[in-house]
Amino acid sequence: MYAFYSLLIYIFYSLFRRDGRTAAAADPRDSTQSARCHSKGRRCPGQPTPHLWTELTCLAGCSESEDGLGEAVEGRPAEVSLEEALTRLAEFLSVHLGAEEGCGNPPDVDKPVEAPPLLTVTSQLLTLLAWIWGPRGRQALLQRTQPAAGVQPPTPDRSPSREESPFHPATASEEASRGETQVQQPPQLEEEQRAWHRLEQLILGQLEELKQQLEQQEEELGRLRLSVGATDSEKRVQHLTLENEALKQSLSLMRELLLHWGPGPPSRDPQGEAEALVELQSRLQEAQDTMEALRVQLGVQEVQLQGLRGALWQLQQETEQNCRQELQQVHGRLAGLRAHMAGLRQGCGDLRGLVSTFTQSCQGSLSEAQGQVSWALGALSAEGAGTQLPEEQQGPPTECPGRLLELKGNIRVLCRLRPGTPCGLVSTEPGPGGTVTTCYRGRQRRFRLDWVFPPDASQEEVFRELQPAVLSCLRGYSVCIFTYGQTGTGKTYSMEGPPEDPGIAPRALQSLFQEMGARGQHRVTLSMVEIYNEAVRDLLAPGPPQRLAVRQGPAGQGGIQVAGLTHWDVPNLETLHQMLSLGKSNRATAATAMNQHSSRSHALVTLTLRVESPPLGPGTAGTLHLVDLAGSERAWKAGSTSAPPGDKERARRLREAQTINRSLLALGGVMAALRARRPHVPFRDSQLTRLLQPALGPGATAVLLLQISTRHEDLGETVCSLKFAERVGQVELGPARRRRAPRSGTPSSFSTDTQLIETPCTPTPSPGSPQSPSPDGGSGSALALRESLPP
Ligand SMILES: Nc1ncnc2c1ncn2[C@@H]1O[C@H](COP(=O)(O)OP(=O)(O)OP(=O)(O)O)[C@@H](O)[C@H]1O
């Protein structure tokens, strides 16, 4: 029963509160209007609910003061007494019920309203309570305890008037005046008391009736619960109760956690808890701020870390690259040091050889001087005795040229100027250690050479300077004399010369044979090849000149071998001249714009001189190479520029010029490598350098005769030729060494390492080779050879 009333009041309160809030939010001005209406002591139609709600909200702090309405009128919070609040509640309930039944129509106070019994009873109860708690109710209660008092309860039958109805509370002055009237009218009070009793009985009866109805309804509800289960509202209440319990448990748990993890002891003071909570929230906020700041700082540091990582990686790459470069440089320096060390070792060996050679030379000079002294003494004694010396003792020993050559150096550069119209851009200081000064393209250059022959120098003067080198071959030295220079500068002229004024080769052969004739016991072998368009051809071959193959000699023997090359024994000077003339005639020449008889090939004459049983010391095998190089030329100058399609001759000249220049370039590369003491010398770059390898090897003696022109138009090539000669002059081939004659072998090699046989040399055994001239061959044999050789 109590639960039912509570539920009813709860529903009422919910509706009441909702209406109050809505109205209060709708128009604030209504509050003033409501206050104004209330101040007049009656309800304003159409807006009772907000006004009542405003007043009921003051119940929580209400007091028992009787003059609360006056203060409400003045605008401050009204203090409503309990009875007045109950009265207003009853009024609101009746009005609200009337409004709901009217479906929103304005309530009509004059029209009787049929309310439900429960609400009616509730309203009457509230009215009763309001009256009891009112002054008259109190007075009636007092009179009840004191029978003299006369209080008239309200008559339920008549409609409550404004002045008497508990639903319309009166002001304090009215109540006071009314009390005075009641004192003055006791019969009326009695009548009211009787009416009160009747009303009381009626209410009690109705309450009893309602009680029975409620019990019946509760029983019915119990049955419904058993059959159907809880209603939706109860379910809602149960659900809310469970939720409330869960929230309480959750709150308890949170509180425990807060107490457990909180900074201070638990405080039961709500204000303290709130302050602690605020403090905790502030600390939490500070921690969150700190964490956020740390996050930002961490992000910045991560960015910095990324940057540092990138910089570190780049630094590592740079360091690695630098290390690689430095390592390569160190390797390069190490290789350079090794090469330098090898050069120093070679130089040391050369110095040792030079010292040894110098010692031997001194010893030889000493013995030679002794021999000359003894010869002079013998001659003096013979003159004194009136007798004649033997033929082999009629001249002093001639050992000086070889030793002179050793002392002069293993490679020498001589320069000869071609006669012609000199220009002022080339000046010379002839003689030993002479110079040639050129002024080309505004730059003056001065070249120092071992000997400079002026244009008017004779063939004899030139040969005189070369004669010691030539004669050193008789002592077992390997000597190479080659002419180099621009085409038409007189290379062939200096090497061969016209018959009336022979050049180096005829004079050398004559000088050698003269020397050999004085000494005897020498054997001379001759071979002659040309290199034409990089093809090696035998100029003394019995048949037509054929291309020969150049090979490296067998391991351990060294040297270069030219397969099929014929080697002729030359018994005398006349036969030698004939064979040289024959080879010269077989050499390729042609007329060019620069030279009517231009040599289009390199010619190499090799003369091997072997002393089989010399009177002093063991046998030797000297070699003399006489090389007449083809002239370097510029195609446009030589008239061999791009040939027209049908001009085969000009095309041939152009090809010849290209191969000549290429081979001369290879010779320059060999000289540069020799000068730099490189471990690898590119001898294989051309056939010319391959054939000259023995002549430019260690222990050999080389003499370069440079032919230059003094003409203005040849100045550029003159400078180039002088530069080449300057490089050759810086080459060190090591001290000249004599070569001992081997005991056996065949003269099939071009090199100085050729193993010579002891038997008279015959031409290389090739099919159809001519008969070798006999050692004592005279002109008849030479003529026979000439006849057998190709024209
Ligand atoms: N010193 C000299 N005295 C007199 N005449 C010379 C002298 N030098 C060269 N000549 C003449 O110059 C011409 C060319 O000489 P030579 O053929 O020897 O030149 P080259 O250098 O051999 O030419 P290429 O390289 O084309 O064979 C010849 O007619 C030769 O007689």
Residue 175 pLDDT more than 70?
no
pLDDT reported for residue 131: 66
Confidence tier at 766 by pLDDT (50, 70, 90)? very low
Q: For residue 296, what are the CA distances in angstroms to 290, 299, 301, 307, 678?
A: 10, 5, 9, 17, 67
Residue 136 pLDDT more than 80?
no
Sequence ranges of the domains in the chain: 2-237, 288-392, 398-788
pLDDT digits (tens, 9 = 90+) for 3-57: 445 545 555 554 444 444 444 444 444 444 443 434 333 343 444 444 444 444 4
Q: What percentage of the chain carries pLDDT values higher than 70?
A: 55
pLDDT digits (tens, 9 = 90+) for 535-549: 898 988 887 777 888
Residue 338 pLDDT more than 60?
yes
Question: Running DSSP on this structure, what letter comes out for residue 113?
Answer: -
CATH 1.20.1260.10 for the 398-788 domain, yes or no: no
pLDDT reported for residue 414: 93
Q: Which of 453, 494, 595, 660 to mutate to test the pocket of ligand 1 (most atoms within 8 A of CB)?
A: 595
Name which of 329-338, 537-546, 754-763 the model is least confident about.
754-763
pLDDT reported for residue 157: 42
Residue nearest to atom 3 of ligand 1 (CA): 419
Task: Report the pLDDT averaged over residues 344-351.
Answer: 80
Confidence tier at 508 by pLDDT (50, 70, 90)? very high
Confidence tier at 558 by pLDDT (50, 70, 90)? low
Atom of ligand 1 lying closest to residue 459 CA: 1
Q: Which residue has the higher pLDDT, 322 or 610?
A: 322
Residue nearest to atom 15 of ligand 1 (CA): 490
Beta bridge pairs of residue 531 = 536, 602
HSE (side-chain half, CA atoms, 13 Å) at 274: 3
772 and 568 Cβ atoms separated by less than 8 Å: yes
Task: Report the pLDDT averaged over residues 517-531.
Answer: 80
Cα–Cα distance for residue pair 383/344, rounded to 1 Å:
56
pLDDT reported for residue 645: 61
Q: What percentage of the chain carries pLDDT values higher than 90?
A: 15
pLDDT reported for residue 409: 55
pLDDT reported for residue 604: 92
The alpha carbon of 726 and the centre of ligand 1 are apart by a number of angstroms equal to 22
Q: Which of 414, 566, 581 is nearest to 496 (CA)?
A: 581
pLDDT digits (tens, 9 = 90+) for 45-63: 444 444 444 444 444 334 3
What size, in residues, is the chain?
791
Q: Which of 492, 495, 592, 705 to mutate to test the pocket of ligand 1 (most atoms within 8 A of CB)?
A: 492
Confidence tier at 347 by pLDDT (50, 70, 90)? confident
pLDDT reported for residue 226: 66
Residues placed in the known binding site for ATP? 485-492
Atom of ligand 1 lying closest to residue 629 CA: 25
Tokens, residue 606: 């090799």
The alpha carbon of 410 and the centre of ligand 1 are apart by a number of angstroms equal to 27
pLDDT reported for residue 713: 84
pLDDT reported for residue 72: 39
pLDDT reported for residue 618: 63
pLDDT reported for residue 624: 92
Cα–Cα distance for residue pair 786/633, rounded to 1 Å:
34
Q: What is the DSSP string of 303-328?
A: HHHHHHHHHHHHHHHHHHHHHHHHHH
Q: Which residue has the higher pLDDT, 396 or 319?
A: 319
Residue 554: CB partners within 8 Å, gap ≥ 6?
Answer: none
Other residues' Cβ atoms within 10 Å of the Cβ of residue 155: 16
Confidence tier at 306 by pLDDT (50, 70, 90)? very high
Q: What is the DSSP string of 136-175?
A: HHHHHHHHHHSTT---PPPPSSSPPPTTT-TTSPPPHHHH
Name which of 117-121, 296-300, 741-745, 777-781 the model is least confident about.
777-781
Task: Report the pLDDT averaged over residues 659-679.
Answer: 86
Tokens, residue 34: 């409501």
Residue linked to tokens 């940057």: 307
Residue 187 pLDDT more than 90?
no
The alpha carbon of 649 and the centre of ligand 1 are apart by a number of angstroms equal to 22
Task: Report the pLDDT averaged over residues 273-281.
Answer: 87
- Torsion (CA) 494, 499, 505, 509 in degrees, nearest 10: -150
Q: What is the DSSP string of 675-689?
A: HTT-S---GGGSHHH
Task: Report the pLDDT averaged over residues 381-389.
Answer: 63
pLDDT digits (tens, 9 = 90+) for 228-267: 555 566 677 778 888 878 877 877 776 676 666 555 554 5
Task: Report the pLDDT averaged over residues 141-166.
Answer: 45
Question: Running DSSP on this structure, what letter comes out for residue 148?
Answer: T
Atom of ligand 1 lying closest to residue 595 CA: 26
pLDDT reported for residue 447: 92
Residue nearest to atom 4 of ligand 1 (CA): 419
Q: Output the furthest CA–CA distance in the chain (Å, rounded).
A: 221
What residues are in contact with ligand 1 under a 6 Å CB criterion? 418-419, 485, 487-493, 595, 597-599, 630-631, 707
Give the neighbor-by-neighbor strand order of the sheet with 426-429. Answer: 426-429, 435-440, 443-448
Q: Which residue has the higher pLDDT, 472 or 217?
A: 472
pLDDT digits (tens, 9 = 90+) for 387-432: 655 554 554 444 444 455 554 457 889 999 998 877 788 888 998 8
Cα–Cα distance for residue pair 453/308, rounded to 1 Å:
75
